[in-house]
Amino acid sequence: MKPATTWENARKILCIRLDNMGDVLMSTPAMRALKNAAVPRHITLLASPSGAALAPYLPFINKTLVYDAPWVKNEENDADEDGNLLRNLGAEKFDAAVIFTVYSQSPLPAALMCRLAEIPLTLAYCRENPYHLLSDWIPETEPELVTRHEVQRQLDLVGHVHAYAEDARLIFLTKESDRRHLYKKLEAANIRSDQPWIVAHCGASAPSRRYPLDSYVKVLSQLGSRAGQVVLTGNTSEQNLTREIMKKCGNKAPLFNVAGILTLGEFACLIEDASLLLSNNTGPVHLAAALGTPIVDLYALTNPQHKPWMVAHRVLSHDVPCKNCYRSVCPEKHHNCLRLVTPESVSEAVTDLLADTKSHFRTAFVRTKEAECLP
């Protein structure tokens, strides 16, 4: 089959998103827009290991390729992997590739990779003229002229080649098998599945996006039982953090710790069936947005384009002159954009949002009970 010469007849498309899981989630409406074209399309996702973990829950993805790109922050540096990927991409005979980036990233390394793999149509934002490296491109104007939400940025990108989204919500399709496994783990942890819970996710990969531990303890202690059961989550590296919160809170709140014991699918079901997510601005916020779970987002003023998308939410931060720093560590060393957010304001946001969205847990509970009746 000859490769496509226009985007309208491109059938085999490579979607490149090489950073984090949350970034892939925020690109899902744009990827689905590419899929829902007039011609049948086969969509392959090229992503980092963390981003590729989403693929089983994205129904529009037909195939996934995993790649730790050397131009994106990661722990790997394997030149053999680069050569293997190029051979695999060339063998796939893609018609087109879309390179999804945040505005601080260059698409050119990925564009060169596509050229070497002989992919004829390529699309990305680019700050400088890419000449023959990209067949289609949009001049990068962020953040100098405007800063859009990351979801809108990617929808605008694919709109450049006439791919439009009928539904702009983030996408993550949970599995009932994961939900059944989750509920067994909840029972083992003495969490009552017939009573409401909120999820508190207290970690984040970047220190600049972490609400102080002692402030989290004050929030949860002030909430007491008003928010129902509080389920602490995190990855294995955050287990010490959640244990410390449990220890400092004592019996002031009904806390349960499941950090490090849930799969991605189980974690998603936990959030989907929760009344609310309380979290630093990190991947679980975008997962909750995809699942429709209300969010209280402790939002460090580092990246303004990553707020909760199309979901009931409260965003809490403290305005500072150094906002929009885009740094992983506070360059001013005071962390005031989060440190000065009072625990009282956080606990009030949780109770207010719970009151405004009180039907969410009951809906999730009914859905779960219905699923238990399935053969």
Contacts by 309-314, CB closer than 8 A, 24 or more apart: 309/26, 309/149, 309/151, 309/169, 309/170, 310/168, 310/169, 310/170, 312/353, 312/356, 312/357, 313/289, 313/353, 314/349, 314/352, 314/353
Q: How far apart are CA 296 and CA 215, in angstroms?
A: 15
- Indicate the pTM of the whole model: 0.92
Q: How far apart are CA 280 and CA 253, in angstroms?
A: 20
Q: How far apart are CA 297 and CA 277, in angstroms?
A: 8
Q: How far apart are CA 133 and CA 113, in angstroms?
A: 9
Please report the beta strands in the chain, taking only residues with DSSP state E, as ranges in sequence order.
12-17, 42-47, 63-66, 96-99, 121-126, 136-139, 197-201, 229-233, 255-257, 276-280, 295-298, 313-316
Q: How far apart are CA 34 and CA 41, in angstroms?
A: 8
- Domains observed in the chain: 7-159 (3.40.50.2000), 176-372 (3.40.50.2000)
Q: Which two tokens stand for residue 105?
A: 């990233």
CA dihedral in degrees (354, 229, 203, 181; nearest 10)?
-110
Pairing between β-strand 42-47 and β-strand 63-66 as defined by DSSP bridges: parallel
Q: pLDDT tens track of the chain, all 375 residues? A: 567 789 999 999 999 999 999 999 999 999 999 999 888 999 999 999 999 999 999 999 999 999 999 998 777 778 889 999 999 999 999 999 999 999 999 999 999 999 999 999 999 999 999 999 999 999 999 988 888 999 999 999 999 999 999 999 999 999 999 999 999 999 999 999 999 999 999 987 777 778 999 999 999 999 999 999 999 999 999 999 999 999 999 999 999 999 999 999 999 999 999 999 999 999 999 999 999 999 999 988 667 789 999 999 999 987 756 666 566 666 666 667 787 899 999 999 999 999 999 767 655 556 555 555 544
Cis geometry, peptide bond prior to residue 294 (ω within 30 degrees of 0): no
φ/ψ (deg, to 5) at 156: -65, -35
DSSP percent split of the chain into helix, strand, coil, nearest 5: 40, 15, 45
* Number of other residues whose CB lies within 10 A of the CB of residue 283: 23
pLDDT per position as a tens digit, 100-158: 999 999 999 999 999 999 999 999 999 999 999 999 999 999 988 888 999 999 999 99
Angle at which helix 21-35 crosses helix 150-159, to 10 degrees, equals 30
